[in-house]
Amino acid sequence: MARRPRICPAGMPQHVIQRGNNRQLCFQDFADKATYMMLLTRYLKKYKLDIHAWVFMTNHTHLLVTPHSDDALSGFMKSVGQAYAQYFNHKYERTGTLWEGRFKSCLVDTESYLLQCQRYIELNPVKAGMVEYAGDYQWSSYRCHAYGMGSSIHSPHLSYLEFQPDPDRRGESYRNFVGTPMPKELDELIHYTAIAGKPLGSAEFQEEMQARFA
């Protein structure tokens, strides 16, 4: 069966998941995550896309990105994935596949779901029991949004900036937002759409995406 074509239109946010093959570890120490971050920075400039949110777990990563061209995301993920796999295999004296085939991704409705998806990404370490509070995890975008910390890969989305127009109150508002429990149904929907490649959004958004890209 032919694979579904990758739909990565310019200017539209996407939730991207890259998982280790058979859920194997992809990051074993600080240096591994720092190397992956360095590669994101390097290829971000080459392929020209914005990264709004991220988290590096032990066996997978999440990104929330907006590509500037239709082929930017595929080229970006391929280059980052290959370069990191070469680094990882050399460091740990291993051979073979590191990643689970193609990355998973879905289009995200900016109006209703972008901040929900961003919150979902940044809460991954909490849901996995790695930390009790999202701010305790170094390898995510939460500190950028909640405390205004800088990062070489961070481009805050307009939805986040407009969530609280006052910069002095934005961090507090965002911390309260992330601290509000996410409905289980929403959590499951965000996970499902990314894995299945279905648009994450309202019924109208899904119909529009189906009409445009089916």
CA distance 170 to 176: 10
Asked if residue 49 lies in contact with residue 68, where contact means CB atoms within 8 angstroms, the answer is: yes
* pLDDT value of position 180: 93
Per the prediction, the chain carries an average pLDDT of 93
* pLDDT value of position 178: 97
In the chain, the percentage of residues whose pLDDT exceeds 70 is 96
User: What band does 9 get if pLDDT is binned at 50, 70 and 90?
Assistant: confident
pTM, 2 dp: 0.94
Q: Is 15 helix (H, G, I), strand (E, B) or coil?
A: strand
Sketch the domain layout of the chain as residue ranges.
Answer: 14-208
Interior/surface letters 62-99, b for 16+ CB within 10 angstroms, e for the rest:
bbbbbbeeeebbbbbbeebbebbbebbeeeeeeeeebb
* pLDDT value of position 2: 44
CA distance 108 to 1: 27
Mean per-residue pLDDT, 62-73: 96
User: What band does 4 get if pLDDT is binned at 50, 70 and 90?
Assistant: low
CA distance 176 to 211: 37
Concatenated DSSP letters for 30-59? HHHHHHHHHHHHHHHHHHTEEEEEEEE-SS
**pLDDT tens digits along 123-149:** 999 999 999 999 999 999 999 999 999
pLDDT at 205 over 70: yes
Phi-psi region of 182 (alpha: psi -120 to 50; beta: other; left: phi over 0): beta
Q: Which fold has domain 14-208?
A: Alpha-Beta Plaits (3.30.70)
pLDDT at 212 over 90: no
Nearest to 160 by CA among 122, 188, 118, 191: 118
In the chain, the percentage of residues whose pLDDT exceeds 90 is 82
